[in-house]
Structure 1
């Protein structure tokens, strides 16, 4: 037997704690400078919202004479959150008859994810916040790429995270999760990856009805992409992937039909709970205007209705700008959103919807980069509004 085989094998040196730490951080090197900038901006703004929530818990207790602050997580348990938690915990129909509090109005995507995360994080509110935290980071990275990267990408993310309703990206709501699916779907379509775009859009539709508006925009994007292409007929097979987003909406409708006997259960729940029965756009504007300025409602409610009107004007301006630039896919998405929100009895959740209008943030980013003074004015104006809306939401006041 050779002597070399009798020798003891060399001892491999164990990695030092410093080397182990460097290995764990190796994935950070794969991120671009833009990605790191976006993630730092994202984490700083999340920390700012956490500080705001901490102050709200101490400054606005349920009992003005309380000597102890309310739990920090409790300030995030507002409004729609209770619907999502009850659906995740008990389902839509825990008993006989119609779902409690018109829960049918909420699509099942977020409650399903919440229930899954709760298996690992056994606290409902913390699980919801973690979903939004991770989803928001994904959405921010995707938005930076949609904006073109570089300074424009970083600016678009900053504007989104400082937008007035940015608190809803941190709360246990659907906005962050929807954007984490919708924005990568849009990126995939722009990169001619229609299978991935269809799958992501289907997941987005399971979270919000807005996924169907996204699908319509993807369809227009497909037509615009291959218009005039001599080999267009070879590409039409890829169009079938855009049928996927219809399936979650149909499956949820069929489920509600089986439970309630009503094919329109989702719409009827919207009407009962949020006055979303159809009204012509001019009537919806008139009703919202009356609520905002007639003095028949409390001042806080009237102020938030004024914000609804401003957000609708902003959306109409955005739509006009997109049409002027012949950006037909994005215009389709915004137009369908405005139609859905602008044909109810009055406007509800229009300011929140601005979070989902990525052409708004990419367009403002490009504009403010060309006009540094406008950027300063815009950022100085957005910051106090962001804090104000966060306080309104975290104190349990109606926030759209």
Structure 2
């Protein structure tokens, strides 16, 4: 659905639930990771793109001290007091809404100036590794800013050519919301991507320095095609934290050798040092580290490729990323490998890899725009033949980041 179509759905539901018309609308995209798999929490380099799958929020400020929210996709409502925001049951959607309010109030050291009513609708596939949660966070944040209920902040600070510093600050607030309130140990990539997206551009982020760039994918840009393996992300339960611990094993080795000032993150270890000490390192952890360090290098090469307009070379790097994830980080699966293999022989394929944490879920593919439909059909047929399951295929484009506007009432 287009943002306008999603907004219309949310406006209709808002009127039905609350008996009035909303005065504010916001919209924020999901994202795909293009390069930089499991590098963000290691202080590394990442490349991503916001995609044209969105969460929209419509509503208005109310002279109360409560937040009221209705989610179309869950057919559920929730109400909470601004003065005493507590986390609900783990894994439930209201935590993300409450977490945004909690984190904004913490950052501003003040409660919102009033309560609000809001309805939410979206088409970011849930549980597919496309950051529906960050899309929801960004949509709620922009709704609150447009509604004028964040003390000392105006929406104008987050719009236009000079808005990047304010958006980066907001990305950090939303990350804290997910880490400290929701309880998910994530990096900055998801929130950054939803806020900083640009049509037909990839995003680069240095997770240590917060240096970033928007890099053209071409005009028109390629299709970004997400293929869902139909395998449950529950297969990844516990694996994310295990990989984090394995990476920390290498950090600890070099920190003990070189001192804490020299090595605080895996990013601080050079590939040459890793190879030099290879025989002394834990045999599993060293492979995890090799993936992260070579992935950082692929990101550097990816930035150079896009600056040179070399989309074919960029695609090769994406495929090389998948091979490294499969062989060294071991966060692929037979289903994800089958999706990539089906994609490699499909029309217009430029590069493909597993998406997000891995182990289950989706792959992301860069595909020549005029061959997107043929690619989607070929991958669906190829994967079905290999696995006996028909994948969901989403043909996407790189999209603009979060936005908001006032509505006529």
Same fold (TM over 0.5): no
Larger-gyration structure (1/2): 1
Q: TM-score, normalised by structure 2?
A: 0.25
> Relative to total residues, which structure has the larger helix share, 1 or 2?
1
Q: TM-score, normalised by structure 1?
A: 0.26
> Relative to total residues, which structure has the larger strand share, 1 or 2?
2
